[in-house]
Amino acid sequence: MTALGNNAPIGVFDSGVGGLSVLRAIRSKLPNENLIYIADSGNAPYGDKDAGFIAERATEITQLLLTSGAKAIVVACNTVSVVAIEHIRSWCPVPVIAIEPAIKPASQHTKIGVIGVLATRQTIASPSVARLCEAHGKHIKILLQPCPGLVEQVEKAELLSDATRALLVQYISPLLAAGADTLVLGCTHYPFLTPLIRDIVGPDVTIIDPALAVAQQVARRLGDQLASPAQAQPTNAQFYSTAAEEQASAIISALWGQKVTVQGIN
């Protein structure tokens, strides 16, 4: 690609603000890259939506990122990845990098042989997760825990509230009681709840967030299409949301760790 092409942005999207956990990993791994992030918070959460709706939204957002010149698309949403990723890849002309629940690394890490997966209902019920469990669960016990309500708490930036803690205790306690020594964060919203999760599970339970692995895959897939340090300017991240602009700006700024302006899209 030309120098201009190398400076084209990486497009990242999620059902809401959870994909910011992946975006920050990409920024850390690839600090020279320009980034575009789209949060479909006006339709969050996807985890309780039907597959057709999810595929339609993912298609529209991917097309919007392509129109914006994205040289790669990162699907920073486990639900989209397990429901619609093959459809997107079938027509998208640039590399598409997906995220999926980190069941494989968790299965390799557990010492006791019991892992818990926290995810949305749609992700838990997907054929993709069933295949992951079949492939990596032959010699371990995999406990799948749907977590309705957690995405909404993160979308409101209620990361430390009593209500959020109560939900986490409700979902995590049965996993701990069953002996899980490894927890998979199977939704990109959940890493923002890691401090609360750690407080609940204690120091001996491993918490797996696949965001870094996604960033590493982005780097591998783009290869010589990455911006070079000589060409790059300080990382330029643009943020868009289908939620109200003022609300989206406040929440994304809080989660991103610095004040940003979020543009509304229909």
* 110-128 pLDDT tens trace: 999 999 999 999 999 999 9
Burial of 59 (0-12, 13-18, 19+ CB in 10 A): middle
**How does the average pLDDT of the chain come out, rounded?**
94
pLDDT at 234 over 70: no
Q: What is the predicted pLDDT for the residue at 232? A: 55
Q: What angle do CA 245, 76, 219 make, to 5 degrees?
A: 120
Helix axis angle for 20-29 and 245-256, nearest 10°, is: 50
Among the listed residues 77, 92, 133, 147, the single catalytic one is 77
* Number of Cβ atoms within 10 Å of the Cβ of 110: 19
Query: Cα-atom radius of gyration of the chain, to the nearest Å?
Result: 18
| Residue 133 is a catalytic residue | no
Residue 66's contacts (CB-CB under 8 Å, 6 or more residues apart) are 11, 73, 92, 93, 94
**108 vs 106: CA distance, rounded Å:** 5
Eight-state DSSP code of residue 191: G
| Residue 77 is a catalytic residue | yes
pLDDT at 181 over 90: yes
59-113 pLDDT per residue, tens: 999 999 999 999 999 999 999 999 999 999 999 999 999 999 999 999 999 999 9
Among the listed residues 92, 133, 147, 187, the single catalytic one is 187
Consecutive H or E run containing 241: strand 237-241
Average pLDDT score over residue span 41-54: 92
Which structural domains are found in the chain, ordered by start? Answer: 3-99+212-264 (3.40.50.1860), 103-209 (3.40.50.1860)
Whole-model pTM: value is 0.93
Q: What is the predicted pLDDT for the residue at 236? A: 86
pLDDT at 227 over 90: no
At position 1, the amino acid (one-letter code) is M
Distance of CA 162 to the CA centre of its chain: 24
Token digits for 60?
């529209």
Helix axis angle for 194-201 and 162-177, nearest 10°, is: 50
**182 vs 105: CA distance, rounded Å:** 10
Q: What is the predicted pLDDT for the residue at 6? A: 87
Q: How confident is the model at residue 136 (pLDDT cuts 50, 70, 90)?
A: very high
Q: How confident is the model at residue 2 (pLDDT cuts 50, 70, 90)?
A: very low
**35 vs 232: CA distance, rounded Å:** 12
